[in-house]
Amino acid sequence: MIAANIILSNNSTETIAKGTVMLRRAAATDSVIFVESGRVAMGVLGTGTDAAVIEHQLGLVEGPCWLEATSAVLNVPSAVDAVALTDVEIRRLSPKEFRASLNTCAKDVQSMLLDIARAHRQQTELTVSRLAKDAEARCAEWLLSHAETSDKGGCSVHLQLRKRAIAAQLGIAPETLSRVLRHLRELCLISGSGRIVDLVDPAGLRTLAGPSAPCQCGAV
């Protein structure tokens, strides 16, 4: 709290009305938010008439605290949606100012913060993926995130885990995973039926998985 007060001392307080969407998943933002007071729900927004309501709540924060500090530390868009449950008093800091404040920390502290943020981000993305995406989108995202550049310059995934273990990571039944992989082959998005899965159409898989899906393959 002391550090937050120091770096935010020149930033004025702003009131956010109850029901306001404060963060949107995968959307770029020009500020890092510190919640002085009030409660904010974090998770996955509903659709249609419930567009400003958290349909799947993953957490609840109450000021004083940083809002989605993980994304701020990693300098990436938010992994979750956030909606004010009450009127919220906030202060904003530019990403540049936030990173400058982090750079004043000791190197070992910076390294620790990055490690914690990366682990938290990975777990959050996995949880959100299970809530917001169907089985095919989850599978496509998993394939992209585990892809490597093959000897032929394309993308492939070496299935080091049994399908049952992969299905558990995706939150689906093994039978569902087999059905999804079969359908992806029929769509000519992937090929191969053994331990090596070739990503025939990585761009098509990304369309299925969503634009924020990570890909480890240098060929994409």
pLDDT tens readout for residues 15-66 = 999 999 999 998 888 999 999 999 999 988 876 545 578 878 888 999 999 9
pLDDT at 6 over 70: no
Alpha carbon of residue 120 to chain centroid? 9
Assign 2 a pLDDT band (cuts: 50, 70, 90).
very low
How many of the other CB atoms lie within 10 Å of CB of 21?
16
Assign 11 a pLDDT band (cuts: 50, 70, 90).
confident
The helix/strand/coil state of 35 is strand
pLDDT tens-digit map of 92-131: 999 888 988 888 889 999 999 999 999 999 889 888 877 7
Assign 9 a pLDDT band (cuts: 50, 70, 90).
low
Q: What's the pLDDT score for residue 214?
A: 66
Q: What's the pLDDT score for residue 118?
A: 95
Can you give the pTM of this predicted structure?
0.62
How many of the other CB atoms lie within 10 Å of CB of 13?
12
pLDDT at 1 over 50: no
Domain residue spans in the chain? 2-130, 133-209
Architecture of domain 133-209: Orthogonal Bundle (1.10)
Q: Please give the average per-residue pLDDT across 191-200, as a whole number.
A: 88
CATH for the 2-130 domain, from 3.40.50.10320, 3.50.7.10, 3.40.50.150, 2.60.120.10? 2.60.120.10
> CA nearest 73: which of 53, 99, 51, 107?
99
